[in-house]
Structure 1
């Protein structure tokens, strides 16, 4: 077999190389779209988890709400009383 004939048999066809390159580009684009979709899902999942934690915290507060609301009311009454004292003239307090 002549040398140039053997070389021609071993050299890939240009169209075959171009087809492989196109297939690789197509595969790369598909993989990139999949990664983007997974990343978007991860963001949505994290946001949903955060919302769930807020709802669960609210539910816990509602279960023990009576005691909590009584405590908050006492704090509010104390704040109002302090504001009232601050508005009184200094001579009256002495």
Structure 2
């Protein structure tokens, strides 16, 4: 079975493709976004997910579309759950009629 590469956490993408290339510190980026430094740091370091509100703030401040950013969050979450699928003990329900 072919293994598919796991998507990066959206915070990593935001850090490496948006924040770092323009030379912002986490503190300055948090100020620009109107959020706390700990909130942004948690996202950038993969300890928190990307909320729709944060995605909108990033779109307004830096340009990448909210929809695109949220798709990266969704892909990451799907990969996370798929990675632990065996731990989720649920059997398929089969209806036997009324």
TM norm structure 2: 0.29
Of structures 1 and 2, the one with the larger relative CO (CA 8 A, separation 6+) is 2
Return the TM-score normalized by structure 1. 0.30
Q: Which has the larger radius of gyration?
A: 1
